[in-house]
Amino acid sequence: MSRRKVGILISGRGSNMQALLDACAAPDYPAEIALVAANRADAAGLERARDAGIATQVVPHRDFPDRQSFEVALDAALRDADAELVCNAGFMRILTPWFVERWHDRQLNIHPSLLPAFPGLHTHERALAAGVRFTGCTVHFVRAEMDAGPIVAQAAVPVLAGDDADRLAARVLAAEHRIYPLALRLVAEGRARVADERVLIDGPACGEAALLNPTD
């Protein structure tokens, strides 16, 4: 089995990165991590990646005069590593249309809400303020608009009485760690197809494959 080479972009602790690394450790997983790149040298996830023997690179955005030159360097790092797919995992830089186009339908992001609800920051505070009964997380292909793009997979997570943002975030994060490897598998196997800006899943259990819910 040939495995698709993946570059992961992080800015922080890297728990989603870790979930992808763990998934890739299984011999039948269709992807392998070629590079973990961070825009900050102090991203805790870098240490975790090094511990796992994964190549890492810091591309510090502050060292570049503008967004485009930063992205050229990031793109070069990914290409040097022969990455075919990119997974944003807590990557906190807004990407320009130039970068997004270069990785069109080959770049995934994970977001801690059921998009299109609550794009942007502070999703859990906003979900609590809105009084929704369910929130969750979404893996989607990246488009120039932030936290938008064809949805590959979603997990629904209940909002429980007594939740504060931290408790809710922890419950959602556990679902993120399940859904990101699942979504990457679908994309790496070529089973997630973008048609008309929606994702069609081919193959067996196609509906269920991209869905997690609290009864699981």
Give me the residues that bind ligand GRF (CB under 6 A), please: 12-17, 89-90, 110-112, 173, 176
Q: How far is the CB of 51 from ligand GRF (least distance, A)?
A: 15
Choosing from 61, 104, 111, 140, the catalytic residue is 111
Biggest CA pair distance of the chain = 49
Instruction: Choose between 110 and 186: whose C-beta lies nearer to ligand GRF.
Output: 110
Beta carbon nearer to ligand GRF, 25 or 200: 25
- Does residue 165 sit in helix, strand or coil? helix
Burial of 41 (0-12, 13-18, 19+ CB in 10 A): exposed
Distances (CA, A) of 145 to 3, 120, 149: 30, 11, 8
Q: How far is CA 98 from the centre of its chain?
A: 19
Determine whether 111 is an active site residue: yes
Nearer to ligand GRF, 51 or 82 (CB): 51
CA dist 99 and 144 (Å) reads 9
Complex with ligand GRF: residue 93 or 193, whichever CB lies closer: 93
| All residues at 6 or more sequence positions from 195 whose CB lies less than 8 Å from its CB, including other chains | none
DSSP labels for 70-118?
HHHHHHHHHHHTT-SEEEESS--SPPPHHHHHHTTTTEEEEESS-TTSS
* CA distance between the termini of the chain: 29
Supply the minimum distance, in Å, between the C-beta of residue 12 and ligand GRF: 4
Closest separation in Å from C-beta 174 to ligand GRF:
11
Cβ at position 110, least distance to ligand GRF in Å: 4
Catalytic site residues? 111
